[in-house]
Amino acid sequence: MRESNFDLPGADLAWCPGCGDFKILEALKIALEELDLKPEDVTVVSGIGQAAKTPHFMKCNFLNGLHGRALSHATGVKAANPSLTVLAIGGDGDMYGEGGNHFLHTIRRNPNITNLVYDNMVYGLTKGQASPTSPKGMTTPIQVRGVASDPVNPLALALVQGATFVARAFSGNLDHTVKIMKAAIGHRGYSLVDIFQPCVSFNKINTFKWFKDNTYILEDHDQTDRTAAMELAMRTDYPLGILYCQEGKPTFEDNLGIYGDDTKPLFLKEGSQEALRAIVDSLS
């Protein structure tokens, strides 16, 4: 990996050799570095899972919470201190399974956070059972007769819910992933980046080669066309890139009505108790 201000010396990267998470971590550090962000100005929030270990290996603020709850925690962090760059990180099981309800309602609120989902189409921490994005018919140690349900389509779901930035990347294409991450972090509003990555231990179908053979990089696509984005999200040859981007939609923090141009952390503002009540009321 390239040297970065976000390197955490002595961190023991507890992933299997060949796991796609290594390249995603590298891409994230490069993206933050190229955006000239400082570790003290970045907060990474995660839940439970292999992907959720990411902040353990980074030099920055982090909150490692409950399974499926990263988005709600990230929304609270951003609401309390909008000057921070906030990222919510997790796997396809963590974000789309346990965190499915939070995924839906976070999109509706449009907080100014970046949601990176490491999508390997299996549960990698808990020994390989099917995840929400596992292909129908896939056999696992639990689904011995094959997965019976159709997989969740996270990009189409995000578009239907009104997400203002929807993209897909592949861990095997470092430079392209860095480019998408930078655009997502720079976007003002909720940003989803679903990142394909192989689970070398438990998913023997969606391998590195499978992702290379079944994806392609988008070119000459109008990112403001939501209908075209939906058509791309429904494809099974899996386009990589920014499918949709809408600028100018008010964020969750805007709608609180307590900040304006002043991004001073909530605990430093006068009347912080009233401001906190406004946040709580907006979530009900």
Angle of CA points 204, 166, 131, to nearest 5°: 30
Q: Which CATH class is domain 21-283?
A: alpha beta
List the chain domain ranges: 21-283
Residue with tokens 């006068």: 270
Q: At what angle do helices 154-161 and 100-109 cross, to 10 degrees?
A: 40
pLDDT at 258 over 80: no
pLDDT at 118: 97
Each residue of 142-177: pLDDT tens digit? 888 888 889 999 999 999 999 999 999 999 999 999
Each residue of 199-220: pLDDT tens digit? 999 999 999 999 999 999 999 9
Q: At what angle do helices 272-283 and 70-80 cross, to 10 degrees?
A: 150
Each residue of 107-144: pLDDT tens digit? 999 999 999 999 999 988 877 888 899 888 888 888 88
Going by pLDDT thresholds of 50, 70 and 90, the confidence category of residue 276 is low
Tokens standing for residue 172: 């095997």
DSSP 150-178: PPP-HHHHHHHHT-SEEEEEETT-HHHHH
Query: What ranges make up the beta strands (E) of 58-103?
Result: 61-64, 85-91
pLDDT at 270: 61
Residue 284's contacts (CB-CB under 8 Å, 6 or more residues apart) are none
Looking at every residue in the chain, the average pLDDT score rounds to 91
